[in-house]
């Protein structure tokens, strides 16, 4: 837990696999402590408490109550699923969060009209590029696709967009991204295409001239995964909240992310389940100096 980087990422990317489920290593603590108590060993008990202290230092702050102070924006992120049987109901669930921004991935041409109809009244500004979309209460300008396509994927693959949201706080660059899926197979943790796409997204963030940036997306990885370092090294992760978002039936990890530059994600939480295999997440954002995780 303290030094996951010692697990190499060569030959199967098992380091990234470990980091995807890093908080769950804490389940070893009660097992170790139980064994220590059964053995009645004076050294075993403090030795078992050491990983408990490491877990508390790394992940404990996420469980603390969120700051009740004011926020500049509320953002919702959801991979709605291309096989979602109820896009209109999904859109209503997202709208119920009363957010300023709503990002949706896996938008299909057949489902798009249902989202437009359900969201347009409260979110009059929207943009769609490929299979990703952004709905906003505030005007959107300078909308354009973001090229995060791995070399091995065909030219019709379009999963990134960038827009400027003209908010009461000023102009904010908003990115919506859906990185390639990862697979666990005989060759290990298949994240090569995702990592390549993350590098392209990181380069786009580095070149972004606007200072306040909000990134919303299904990144197919957690903020601890070193494969997403080109992105997470340029943004700040939530300081409060766990919000495991996948799989919806039994969430094990948050791969749906709300990340910011020049700001703080003060709280992130999950929303009620939709017809997707992901849970939506909602985050409260404050601009200014980012808080350290």
Q: What is the pLDDT of residues 199-245, one digit of tens each?
A: 999 999 999 999 999 999 999 999 999 999 999 999 999 999 999 99
In this prediction, residues 180-189 reach a mean pLDDT of 89
State the DSSP code for 4.
G
Q: Among 133, 140, 145, 142, which Cα is nearest to 166's?
A: 140
pLDDT band with cut points at 50, 70 and 90 for residue 291: very low
Q: Provide mean pLDDT across the span 269-273.
A: 98
> Is the CB of residue 169 less than 8 Å from the CB of residue 211?
no
Mean pLDDT over 146-155 rounds to 95
Cα–Cα separations (whole angstroms), residue 175 to 3, 15, 161: 31, 27, 6
pLDDT at 292 over 50: no
What pLDDT digit, counting tens, does each position of 78-115 carry? 999 999 999 999 999 999 999 999 999 999 999 999 99
Residue 68, pLDDT score: 82
Token pair in block for residue 167:
């908010």
How high is the pLDDT of residue 289?
A: 58
Distance CA 269, CA 272 (A): 10
Stated length of the chain = 293
Residues 111-145: pLDDT tens digits? 999 999 999 999 999 999 999 999 999 999 999 99
**pLDDT value, residue 42:** 75
Q: Is the pLDDT of residue 160 over 80?
A: yes
154 upstream amide cis, omega within 30 of 0? no
Burial of 18 (0-12, 13-18, 19+ CB in 10 A): buried
- Interaxial angle between packed helices 112-119 and 87-95, expressed in degrees from 0 to 180 and rounded to the nearest 10: 30
pLDDT for the residue numbered 77 = 98
| Architecture of the domain spanning 73-287 | 4-Layer Sandwich (3.60)
Q: What is the mean pLDDT of the chain?
A: 94
pLDDT above 90 (res 69): no
- Give the model's pLDDT for residue 229: 97
Q: What is the pLDDT of residues 40-49, one digit of tens each?
A: 777 877 887 8
Give the model's pLDDT for residue 40. 77
pLDDT of residue 56: 93
Q: Give the pLDDT score at 293.
A: 35
Q: What is the pTM of this model?
A: 0.93
Instruction: Taking residues 29-57, report their average pLDDT.
Output: 84
Please write the tens of the pLDDT for every residue from 230-242: 999 999 999 999 9
Query: Residues 179, 218: contact at Cβ < 8 Å?
Result: yes
The span from the CA of 225 to the CA of 257, in Å, is 12
């Amino acid at each position: 837990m303290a030094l996951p980087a010692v697990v190499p990422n060569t030959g199967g990317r098992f380091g990234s696999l470990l980091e995807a489920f890093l908080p769950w290593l804490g389940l070893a603590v009660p097992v170790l402590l139980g064994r220590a108590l059964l053995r009645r060993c004076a050294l075993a008990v403090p030795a078992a408490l050491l990983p408990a202290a490491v877990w508390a230092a790394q992940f404990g702050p996420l469980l603390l109550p969120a700051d009740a102070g004011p926020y500049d924006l509320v953002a919702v992120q959801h991979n709605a699923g291309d096989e979602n049987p109820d896009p209109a109901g999904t859109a209503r669930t997202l709208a119920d969060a009363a957010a300023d921004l709503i990002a949706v991935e896996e938008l299909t041409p057949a489902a798009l009209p249902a989202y437009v109809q359900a969201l347009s009244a409260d979110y009059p500004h929207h943009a769609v590029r490929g299979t990703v979309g952004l709905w906003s209460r505030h005007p959107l300008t300078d909308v354009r696709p973001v090229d995060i396509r791995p070399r091995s994927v065909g030219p019709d693959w379009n999963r990134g967009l960038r827009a400027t949201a003209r908010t009461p706080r000023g102009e904010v660059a908003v990115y919506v991204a859906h990185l390639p899926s990862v697979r666990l197979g005989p060759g290990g943790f298949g994240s090569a295409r995702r990592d390549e796409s993350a590098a392209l997204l990181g380069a786009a963030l580095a070149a972004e001239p606007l200072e306040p940036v909000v990134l919303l997306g299904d990144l197919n990885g957690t903020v601890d995964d070193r494969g997403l370092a080109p992105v997470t090294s340029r943004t700040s992760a939530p300081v409060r909240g766990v919000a495991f978002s996948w799989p919806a039936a039994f969430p094990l990890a948050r791969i749906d992310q709300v990340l910011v530059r020049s700001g703080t994600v003060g709280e992130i939480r999950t929303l009620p389940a939709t017809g997707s295999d992901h849970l939506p997440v909602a985050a409260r954002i404050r601009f200014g100096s980012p808080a350290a995780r």
